[in-house]
Chain A
Amino acid sequence: MANEGTILTAADLAGNGAHGDDPDVHGKFGIFGGRFVPEALIPALDEVAAVYEKAKNDAEFLREFDHLLRTYAGRPTTLTDVPRFSEQAGGARIVLKREDLTHTGAHKINNVLGQALLTKRLGKKRVIAETGAGQHGVATATAAALLGLECVIYMGAVDCERQALNVARMKLLGATVVPVTNGSQTLKDAINEAFRDWVTNVDTTHYLFGTVAGPHPFPEIVRDFARIIGVEARRQMLELTGKLPDAVCAAVGGGSNAIGIFHAFIGDEGVQLHGYEAAGHGLESGEHALTLTAGSVGVLHGSRTYVLQDDEGQTIESHSISAGLDYPGVGPEHAWLKDSGRATYHGVTDDEAMAAFSLLARAEGIIPAIESSHALAGAQRLGRELGPEATILVNLSGRGDKDMGTAMKYFNL
């Protein structure tokens, strides 16, 4: 879609299926995914799946989505070479995919626009969503305002306090923000509460899920709507460098920005895929969000995946300086990519991420989201391994304006 007049195709959304990377009829990626939800929600999930299946092959839907991505979200986003940052990455050529330049400042806008259009096709007038840092909440409130949908956002009470600015943004956009006061009062409890709302109001309401986790078909739908990131980046890399990158790096919380940029490269065997989870204060501290690197297989929020859990299956609270990575589960397709060996996942500590955050700001004049800073720190490490001949594509999934409070505290600004 770089050229004016190019219309998003069904293949851009879902790939060509040639690599066996679509889930089976039960939403399974190998042993992962599926549906572990109250029976009451099954008809709604079936309905979403059926409407999506129809929409993704409907030229009118693709045209509408393409139009919004182009004229509202600001796509295609550019690539940026960062030579001074690259000097601190073993001299490897680092190229950023600038999702931070989209409307609302993060890649989340891609998914919410797609799902908001889907909500209209479902004939529903109300959307609900969970949010941790508030980014998905703000994006959902934005799409709801644009398309005239009622919007309710569930947000942990602790997060509401930490991210007061985003709460104000959502309210300004016309959304109702409900602070969730049970459990750990963070993202996972906001998801529980959103599911409770959905099962009660499913006749009128679409649950606009924010990441590639949850019950089928959410992992597939959210991936497909985020997939444009990699579709664009792959073509742009060929234009810019004349070849595919040696590696693609992305931060992984629930995993939507990472799947978004990975997916178009899955069939390119020479391209390494690296996901970076939040190691918080380090693995040994127990305060981290290393779901794929240190978790075990379980069921959380409706799908089988890797989970941070104790020996009896109770969810363990995660920790990260970045609220967007602070989640004890992960999308099932990442679990599958990990076990198949196609993608590799690593940890980046709070301190490593904040060093990369600061470096990109000073060396390149770009203030990244702290989430994305995990991918930047990972790319520095990878660059030193691969050496100066390597080209590394990094998904700069969002901008750091929202993180100024954290940065002021961390750097004593």
Chain B
Amino acid sequence: MTTLQTVFAKAKADNRAALVGYLPAGFPSKGGDVAAAAALVEAGCDVIEIGLPYSDPLMDGPTIQDAVHRSLINGTRIADVMRTVEGVAATGAATLVMTYWNPVDKYGAERFARDLANAGGVGTITPDLTPEESEPWRAASASAGIDTVFLVAPSSTDERIKAVVDCCTGFVYAASLMGVTGARETVNVAAEGLVKRTRAHTDLPVCVGLGVGTGAQAAEVAAYADGVIVGSAFIRRILDAPDEAAGQESISVLARGMAQGVRR
């Protein structure tokens, strides 16, 4: 199992940023999710986030909503998410689950953390779990030996940034902009300042997500962040492809460009 610590140490030794790819479990199909993630790893993604499909994804833009909706219609359950994690972890990438809080809460925090660790997962990203509500999850994760990643945003005060990073292990997720997930024309200039402000409170790697969609944008973000997170841009390509094989080819091309970007 590759840990986040190993990934970021290696990227640092190579003097580059890590590339993090996001795909929802069960998308574009059961099994097709692992194949798509494997294509991303093959093309140079160091870390894979597997999204746990949820009925009310209020932080996601239309692209991810669409993909998640399809996955839920296909009947994706938490056992399927764990199987996807197992398949992706087998490729050698550090594999996390990104999930809204309610499915974990309902499943049981300790049970979820244990099952994820057993599947080879190394941690979670929980975008709607605030530091005030995070204690039970951090305790469950610590005892299962998995990392807990939380988000900071451009609107976060220094006090909030400190509270969030104190809850993080593995890395800190810096949301580049005020808004939902989705590729943008340009990466928000606020992102660089946020990374700087975050580094003032932690030695953990800081990764930037939201709005990154091209190799050039990946290079731009890699100049100041420890990792570049890409989701909607991959999903868009899969949605637009005529079939799964073409989708995999298309995201491979994009991921290769981004892998070059983080090495510039």
Contacts and interface: CB of A to CB of B under 8 A. Distances in A.
Contact of B132 (A34, A199, A307, A315): A34
A311 B106 contact: yes
Contacts of A315: 55-56
B175 to A, nearest CB: 6
B32 interface: no
Given A38-B128, A42-B130, A43-B156, A192 B107 contact: no
Contact of B72 (A35, A191, A199, A314): A314
A258 to B, nearest CB: 23
B157 A35 contact: no
Contacts of A188: 56
Interface string A19-43: 0000000100000001111111111
Q: Which of A36, A183, A200, A309 has the most CB of B within 10 A?
A: A36
A36 B72 CA distance: 22
Given A38-B151, A42-B156, A183 B56 contact: yes
A314 B130 contact: no
Interface residues of B, number: 41
Contact of B102 (A34, A40, A44, A299): A299
A202 B150 CA distance: 21
B216 to A, nearest CB: 24
A301 B106 contact: no
A26 B132 contact: yes
B31 interface: no
B166 interface: no
Contacts of B129: 36
Nearest to B160: A42
A201 B101 CA distance: 24
Nearest to A311: B106
A37 B128 contact: yes
Interface in A177-193: 182-183, 188-189, 191-192
Contact of A192 (B57, B101, B105, B152): B57
Given A38-B59, A313-B104, 13 more contacts: A35-B132, A37-B130, A38-B58, A38-B127, A39-B152, A40-B153, A40-B175, A191-B58, A200-B178, A203-B178, A301-B56, A312-B78, A312-B103
